[in-house]
């Protein structure tokens, strides 16, 4: 069983927190996020640390405690330094362009794919790398996954869109049959 929910979440100097009923507002230099607090959890601010305590020992309360702890920690990291994911586009003739806020992908289909990002997400293009950044960890990951889903990397030549740190297992392809005389 995880004990991560019992650990207090420390708040840096640059971050302001405000508890408003069952909502926690976190404001930092990059933006602001809100987290809804479960009815099973009590939240207290004690000398620059947020402490999550359960109201009962039900299974749902235990899981909510750990979840809210990590969501709060992710929001604090997001409003202070932000999150980024990098995608690499590989393939002969594959092109990526940024037109305003929209991303235009020419990835071997009969038509260009135009992707408009979610609110709060910034996209940058450097050669064949797409950089997705924002303050919401879940939204950055979801946006990167949506872009990757347009052309997943294939195992034979490695063409497609992949995460920069992702390793694609390559297959050998067809082998010439041994000729027997």
Q: Are 64 and 4 in contact (CB under 8 A)?
A: no
Q: Are 139 and 118 in contact (CB under 8 A)?
A: yes
Domain range for 65: 4-80
The pLDDT value recorded for residue 2 is 62
Task: Give the domain-ending residue among 38, 64, 80.
Answer: 80
The pLDDT value recorded for residue 12 is 94
Q: Is 181 within a domain?
A: no
Task: Give the domain-ending residue among 65, 80, 95.
Answer: 80
Smallest CA-to-CA distance from 57 within 100, 5, 98 is with 5
The Cα–Cα gap between 41 and 64 comes to 7
Residue with tokens 């402490």: 51
Do 68 and 125 have their domain in common? Answer: no
Q: Is the pLDDT of residue 177 over 70?
A: no
Q: Is 91 within a domain?
A: yes
Kindly tell me the sign of the dihedral angle through the C-alpha atoms of 18, 19, 20, 24. Answer: positive
What tens digit of pLDDT does each residue of 65-90 get? 999 999 999 999 999 999 999 999 99
| Domain of residue 152, CATH code | 3.90.930.12
State the pLDDT confidence band at 128, using cuts at 50, 70 and 90: very high
Question: Half-sphere exposure (CA, 13 Å, Cβ side) for 107?
Answer: 24
What tens digit of pLDDT does each residue of 1-42 get? 468 888 999 999 999 999 998 999 999 999 999 999 999 899
The pLDDT value recorded for residue 172 is 86
Kindly report the number of other CB atoms within 10 A of residue 13's CB atom: 7
Do 107 and 153 have their domain in common? Answer: yes
Beta strands at 121-126 and 41-46: parallel, antiparallel or unpaired: unpaired
The Cα–Cα gap between 150 and 178 comes to 38
Do 111 and 128 have their domain in common? Answer: yes
Residue with tokens 């604090």: 76
The Cα–Cα gap between 145 and 179 comes to 45
């Amino acid at each position: 069983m995880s004990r991560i929910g019992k650990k207090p979440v420390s708040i840096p100097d640059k971050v302001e927190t405000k508890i408003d009923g069952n909502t926690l507002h976190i404001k930092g230099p990059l933006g602001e996020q809100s987290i809804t607090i479960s009815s099973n959890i009590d939240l207290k601010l004690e000398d620059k640390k947020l402490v999550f305590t359960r109201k009962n020992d039900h299974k749902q309360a235990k899981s909510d405690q750990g979840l809210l702890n990590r969501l709060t920690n992710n929001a604090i990291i997001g409003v202070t330094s932000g999150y980024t994911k990098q995608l690499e586009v590989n393939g002969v003739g594959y092109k990526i362009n940024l037109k305003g806020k929209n991303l235009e992908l020419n990835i071997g289909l009969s038509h260009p794919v135009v992707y408009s990002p979610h609110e709060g997400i910034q996209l940058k293009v450097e050669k064949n790398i797409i950089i997705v950044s924002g303050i919401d960890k879940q939204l950055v990951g979801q946006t990167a996954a949506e872009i990757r889903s347009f052309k997943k990397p294939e195992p034979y030549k490695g063409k497609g869109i992949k995460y920069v740190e992702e390793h694609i297992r390559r297959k050998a392809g067809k082998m010439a049959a041994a000729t027997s005389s």
